[in-house]
Amino acid sequence: MDFVSIISLIATVIGLLAFSIIAAKHKRNRYQKFLFLLFIFSLAYNALLSSLATSGLLLDYPHFYRTASPFLYCIPIALYLLAKAIGKNQNTPSRSDYALFLIPLLHMAELTPFYFQNSAVKLEHLGNLTTNPDIMVFDKVSLISSNWHYLFQLSLGALLMTITFFKTLKYRKNPGGNSRKRKLIWINWISLFLGFCFAILVLLLLVDPANLNIYVYGAFLITMALLIVFLGLFLEPHVLYGTLHSENIKKRMPAKGETNANLSAQDRDFRSLIEAYFESEQAYLEPSFRQADLASHLNVSRNTLSAMINGSYKMNFNQLLNEKRIDYALKNLDDTKWKHLSLEGIAREVGFKSRTTFNKAFKLKTGSTPSKYRTAQILE
């Protein structure tokens, strides 16, 4: 195995490790977590295929051929949508987001007939892979030649990463907790690096590729991108785990056995942690969100969390949760994507299982029923 295949294999292992950690431990709403996992998996899978191709092992496992191509589309798409979801506090994709997801799905559909070919046909396409890796770039196994797919994939990647870079700069200026800003800073730097890599690869395709080992250069750059991504992840566990810094939390939390009377001195610090969570995360808008979920995110016991909420807010967890959900509803009532929703639909959007509970919480917060409040807003 040469240098590129070795570092590609190392990057794959690191990628799968990070994927496992995110899947098991990451604290974020489901949509954002899915995008994060898709981004990491797409990078890791492309690194695996690069390792197989540059080492020649793909000849022993021909059914892997071209399976990474749709995931090359997913790398910039997932990171762009993740930045957008964090910046705009999205917990579901918009219609334009679905349109982007269609790109890799259509490419996968285009390649499906080839995937069902037997190994002999795939080996014929691979040909002299060990002496000419660029066959991976210029082969034609579907309606569109591979080099045109690569050109479109890399150009789309350079474009989306450029947009992501400037959007994250803008999102970072918006109000929000420290947790949200740190995620955006990480995405900002990663998009800059990936955008540079994609742009370099586009240039390699546009110059005389016959004199270049373009696939090897591409594999090297993608692998280095993955290593940079994971260096950033493991140096910033806050992004990897999606939690607030446990060290700071533990310093601010009361020692075991402290009474409620002792908690008042730390009320302000604790309240800032809670507010940062509700500003930067949206898992609390899921109907299944429980006190144990918030306690896990803050790395404290349920009893400690309950005592601190009572001390800081003078209410219990359910009352606080309902209030934060109503705050979110009030902030988004004028949003265009909510205009078509019924009051029952809005209740579900913010995590209430029934309209009755939503109405009660809404009236407690505003002194008015949701229907009257909405009518007054329209009249204004």
* Nearest to 66, CA basis, from 8, 100, 10, 110: 110
Same domain, 251 and 302: yes
What pLDDT is attached to residue 256? Answer: 40
Using one digit for the tens of pLDDT, what is the confidence trace for 60-113? 898 999 899 999 999 999 999 999 988 877 778 888 889 999 999 999 999 999
What Å distances lie between residue 230 and 193, 194, 201, 239, CA to CA? Answer: 13, 13, 21, 11
Residues 227/230/231/233 CA torsion (nearest 10 deg): 170
The HSE-up count of residue 135 (CA atoms within 13 Å, CB side) is: 19
Asked if the model's pLDDT at residue 42 lies above 90, the reply is: yes
The vertex-155 CA angle with 152 and 158, nearest 5°, equals 150
User: In percent, how much of the chain has pLDDT > 70?
Assistant: 86
Same domain, 146 and 215: yes
Q: How confident is the model at residue 247 (pLDDT cuts 50, 70, 90)?
A: very low
Same domain, 148 and 250: no
Same domain, 287 and 334: yes
- Angle between helix 317-332 and helix 355-366 axes, rounded to 10 deg: 80
Same domain, 101 and 49: yes
For the record, the structure tokens of 241 come out as: 């785990």
In whole angstroms, how large is the CA radius of gyration of the chain?
Answer: 25
Same domain, 228 and 289: no
Same domain, 297 and 359: yes
CB 308 within 8 A of CB 350: no
State which residues form the domain around 364. 246-379
Using one digit for the tens of pLDDT, what is the confidence trace for 195-214? 998 998 888 888 765 556 77
In angstroms, the CA 374 to CA 358 distance is 14
Boundary residue ending a domain (208, 241, 274): 241
Boundary residue ending a domain (192, 226, 241): 241
Global pTM exceeds 0.75? no
Same domain, 51 and 199: yes
Least confident of 39-53, 81-95, 106-120, 152-166: 81-95
The domain tally of the chain equals 2
Q: How confident is the model at residue 248 (pLDDT cuts 50, 70, 90)?
A: very low
Q: What is the 3-state secondary structure (H, E, C) of 76-99?
A: HHHHHHHHHHHHCCCCCCCHHHHH
